[in-house]
Amino acid sequence: MNKILVLFAHPAFERSTMHRSLLEHIKQLDDVTVNDLYENYPDFEIDVEREKKLLSAHQVIIWQHPLFWYSGPALLKQWQDLVFEHGWAYGKDTYALEGKIIFNAISSGGELEAFQKRCFHNSTIRDFLLPFERTAEICRMIYLSPFWVPETEKLGHARIQEFGRQYKELLMLLRDNDLNDPKFLSVPLLNKLVSTGKPI
């Protein structure tokens, strides 16, 4: 079984019904560790060595966060700047995270249709995640398409619960299967691997 580390970053978690549901659905899963960055580091003083040990002990890494102004929350960027050090995560001879799976599990207020070329944002959701993707590539990690919950402000209870179940099923797939399976790289959104037929 593969061990999964969820790096959760939400500066207003108490107001997020969606992310609370996602975490509730996965909290009892074996071999899944949730690392709540804003809870652990409210002063932004990140314990870099602790974070490196967590990363080293897991095969799958998830950046779970809302999409704020086309990027992640500030503490997540701070985490990246400090933890992905030259000479450890990347560099001439050292790639400590090489071969590990990584992706974003995100929410957005914008709807699916807005994240298309020649639509409101004039870019796809993957375009806005390019800094995460390039970071992973420089560290020789394997970057997957995102798990995405769009239009969060308009979702009712049933749909929120459905996304929670999809997220749980996705993590179980990643935990229990060969990570070299091409299905993980072949979908435009990881939601497609666990969809019940409804559009995301």
The strand ranges marked E within the chain are: 4-8, 32-36, 60-66, 101-107, 142-143, 147-149
Full-model pTM: 0.91
Chunked into runs of 10 residues, the chain (200 residues) has average pLDDT values of 97 85 96 97 97 98 88 94 96 93 85 51 69 96 93 82 95 95 92 72
- Whether residue 13 is contained in a domain is answered as yes
- What angle do helix axes 157-176 and 17-26 make, rounded to 10 degrees? 40
**176: domain CATH number?**
3.40.50.360
- Whether residue 198 is contained in a domain is answered as no
Per-residue pLDDT of 53-97, as tens digits, reads 999 999 999 999 998 776 789 999 999 999 999 999 999 889 999
- Whether residue 47 is contained in a domain is answered as yes
- Whether residue 140 is contained in a domain is answered as yes
Per-residue model confidence (pLDDT) at position 110: 47
- Whether residue 54 is contained in a domain is answered as yes
Per-residue model confidence (pLDDT) at position 39: 96
Number of domains in the chain: 1
Per-residue model confidence (pLDDT) at position 154: 73
Q: Is 156 exposed, middle or buried (0-12, 13-18, 19+ CB in 10 A)?
A: exposed
Distance of CA 195 to the CA centre of its chain: 18
- Whether residue 145 is contained in a domain is answered as yes
Per-residue model confidence (pLDDT) at position 113: 53
Full residue range of the structural domain in which residue 150 is found: 4-193
- Whether residue 128 is contained in a domain is answered as yes
Per-residue model confidence (pLDDT) at position 117: 54
Per-residue model confidence (pLDDT) at position 150: 84
DSSP state of 39: H
Per-residue model confidence (pLDDT) at position 128: 75
Per-residue model confidence (pLDDT) at position 198: 56
